[in-house]
Structure 1
Amino acid sequence: MREALRQHGIEDATEPDYAIVGEGQGLTYETLTLGINRLVFGQAKLIGTNPDPVLDGTWNGQDIVLPGGGALIAPFAAATGVEPLFIGKPER
């Protein structure tokens, strides 16, 4: 997602308009801290790709459960009180 945004000139980590959270391994303590501070002090809006708490995956040939978009965006919402807007799968 980060690369797709970059290709369209939509990345600004210093004063972003949006904190966008999707699925994958990109969430670190540093990105979590940066996002929380941008939501609290920078008035960024919280955007999620989908609200799924988990998704099916495989790891070393084993079926496993992975954290979904909803699980990964939850720390941002909990720390800031900001409700995310999901723009991917429709919520039911």
Structure 2
Amino acid sequence: MKREIKAILQPFLVPKVLDALHEIPGIPAVTVSETRTFHLDGGHYQQVVQSKLEVIVPVELLAPVIEAIQSHGGTGRPDEGFIVVIPVESVLPTAR
């Protein structure tokens, strides 16, 4: 069984998280993309540029990956990021 982990992070923390993930044996490719988040602030939406990290891992690696993201990807301020874990039914190659 596999899980997809998505994390929204401050862009300056991505290198630290990637370094921590690199230390975990068996981590496959990690996708990082720029994303725009809109926060309601005083009745108006404020746009914030953040990074989205995505990785699919076996269940055995779930805890160490989450620990690495939390240890190296948090600023200590609320609402500056989060982690989502999603069950993955299957992973298929794009080529046959």
The answer to whether the superposition gives a TM-score over 0.5 is: no
- Structure showing greater relative contact order (alpha-carbon pairs closer than 8 Å, 6 or more residues apart): 2
Larger Rg: 2
Question: Structure 1 or 2: larger helix share?
Answer: 1
More strand by share: 2
